[in-house]
Chain A
């Protein structure tokens, strides 16, 4: 990790060491940063909202055959109310609004217009459409046992499965 070239006194070291943010937002942000490492191993580099920890962005998500693109961007909405992620699963993700099947059909369960939410309309206006997928089987992995339970990798694996299910998604 890069540290600026600034003389560090024992007092400044103590302050920086004790500056862990234990707020719900801070804990969620720490969790997302840890999960980005897992995501990168399977889906390539990803980024997250460094301020409020409300989204994760995967810029190059590969698609199976049958779609109008070989890859899309994925933006996962991270639940941030109380309780939020990881106790609560994501249930909304955004992807390229112009995605179609490779024979030009639109997609079931994919919404590209008509939201009443101001934030959602902003996303739609920026070229995103969204899928809504509920995950009642979500069992969040513990912070020290990320491979025993569900993480955003599980959610991205679910997204990959959804994109393989061309029969269900075809209109």
Chain B
């Protein structure tokens, strides 16, 4: 249970050990969206639905699935 910053907005998650799927559910995001964790050092990591939200992450974002183009 705790508060997490998701897309810049504080979101309360009631689970003791929240997963990426829990974050999507709490944020009301489409189930196919990606949960991304910003790690110290500037790396953004995509989480699987069953992954626990890493405690060392600086923040999280939930975004539509994407790929760089051009």
Contact = CB atoms under 8 A, between A and B. Distances in A.
B44 A134 contact: no
A133 interface: yes
B20 to A, nearest CB: 14
Contacts of A164: 36, 38, 42, 44, 59, 61
Interface of A is mostly: mixed
Contacts of A168: 44, 68
Contacts of B9: 42
A157 B67 contact: no
Interface residues of B, number: 25
Contacts of A89: 64
Contacts of B70: 109, 111, 132
Contact of A135 (B36, B44, B65): B65
Contacts of A149: 30
A144 to B, nearest CB: 15
8 contacts: A66-B42, A131-B68, A133-B67, A133-B68, A134-B68, A135-B65, A161-B61, A164-B36
The 9 closest A-B pairs by CB, nearest first: A137-B65, A166-B42, A132-B70, A165-B44, A137-B64, A132-B69, A158-B63, A167-B43, A161-B61
Given A89-B64, A166-B43, A167-B41, 18 more contacts: A42-B8, A64-B38, A108-B68, A109-B68, A132-B69, A133-B66, A133-B68, A134-B68, A134-B69, A135-B64, A135-B66, A137-B30, A139-B64, A155-B64, A164-B42, A165-B44, A167-B43, A168-B44
